[in-house]
């Protein structure tokens, strides 16, 4: 069976910042909600909370930071997806319910 790793983000507790690691790179990620536009944004900070990229809009099926070139950006694909196939948009109605932020690397589970 294959699966992608996802972030369990409590959408009732936004804005929020959490720490995570990708290989040897530790970062802080902030999640925000724009009520006027009904979309979420992501902020990327280094481990000292210095901003790397702020206000990146979560767009369904699109890799975060895809248009940015900065050696401080982790070499990992983070993508909002709905593995159930129920939605193809990332907004308040779907994010954290059927649409989640995934690490878009499929891992084989041989267990």
Q: Are 53 and 68 in contact (CB under 8 A)?
A: yes
Residue 11: name the closest of 90, 107, 106 by CA: 90
Structure tokens at 43: 């902020």
pLDDT tens, position by position, 68-90: 999 999 989 999 999 999 999 99
Residues spanned by the domain of 51: 2-108
DSSP letter (8 states) at residue 95: B
pLDDT tens, position by position, 50-61: 999 999 999 999
pTM for this one?
0.88
Structure confidence at residue 110 as a pLDDT band (50, 70, 90)? low
Number of structural domains (the chain) is 1
| The pairing of beta strand 39-46 with beta strand 2-6 | unpaired
């Amino acid at each position: 069976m294959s699966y992608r790793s996802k972030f369990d983000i409590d959408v009732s507790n936004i804005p929020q910042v959490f720490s995570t690691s990708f290989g040897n790179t530790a970062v802080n990620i902030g999640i925000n909600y724009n009520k006027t536009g009904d979309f979420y944004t992501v902020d990327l900070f280094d481990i000292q909370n210095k901003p790397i990229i702020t206000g990146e809009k979560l767009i369904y099926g699109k890799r975060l930071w895809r248009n940015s070139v900065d050696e401080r950006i982790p070499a990992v694909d983070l993508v909002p997806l709905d593995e159930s196939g129920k939605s193809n948009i990332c907004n308040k109605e779907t994010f954290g319910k059927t649409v989640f932020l995934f690490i878009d690397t499929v891992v084989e589970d041989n267990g």
